[in-house]
Amino acid sequence: MAVLPIVKLGDPVLRKKARQVSPEELASPEMQGFIDDLIETMHAANGAGLAAPQVGRSVAIAAVHVEDNPRYPYKPKVPLTVFVNPTLTPLSEDAALLYEGCLSVPDLRGRVPRHMHVRVQALDRHGAPLDFEVKGLTAGTYQHEFDHLEGLVFVDRVQDPSTFSTWANFDRFHKAAFVEEARALVNRYGS
């Protein structure tokens, strides 16, 4: 296993729609080794998620995993999940403005509208079908990673550019209020 370099905003790979992965390719030792590396890289960087284009590979594979995360202390836990060739379907009109950040966008956060209830259909890393619903902040995390596979970055979805903030200034000026909002969402949606 290896920690891979994370590509940053401006790299064209982040702007490409990632290609689907066939079951045969997914099962290959090479691709399984790549998925191990993607997970190790996400953990090494304290990411809540990481998508393959962020390590320079334009395939529709992403991972999410939230435990006690120093980058996002208010996020509820999410078990390690690898999802391949996903589709996301909003299941309600509910949305919230979440502060997001991204390992490919150093030292910037901003507020992004996200659906609060989505259905995720995908393959797991072994090619078995996944079909589940996620809510609240966790739904936001999935939408962020799904966007990477579509060639989108969270900055594209920021509707009010005045919400852009460095991480230090987020902590200083915005974190306390947002943690309260996040807590209310977790209470409402259970995640």
Active site residues: 145
102 contacts Ni ion (rule: CB under 5 A): yes
Dist CA 115 CA 20 (whole Å): 24
Which span sits near Ni ion by CB under 5 A: 10-18, 97-105, 111-119, 182-190? 97-105
Span interacting with Ni ion, options 10-18, 64-72, 94-102, 164-172, rule CB under 5 A = 94-102
Cβ-based nearer residue to Ni ion, 55 or 102: 102
Nearer to Ni ion, 102 or 112 (CB): 102
Q: Which of residues 111-140 bind Ni ion (CB under 5 A)?
A: none
C-beta closer to Ni ion: residue 25 or 40: 40
Burial (CB < 10 A; 0-12, 13-18, 19+), residue 73, is exposed
Neighbour order of strands in the sheet with 49-51: 49-51, 61-66, 78-90, 117-123, 129-135
What is each CA distance from 148 to 28, 94, 167, 179, in whole angstroms? 23, 22, 21, 25
Residues that bind Ni ion in the complex, under the rule CB under 5 A: 102
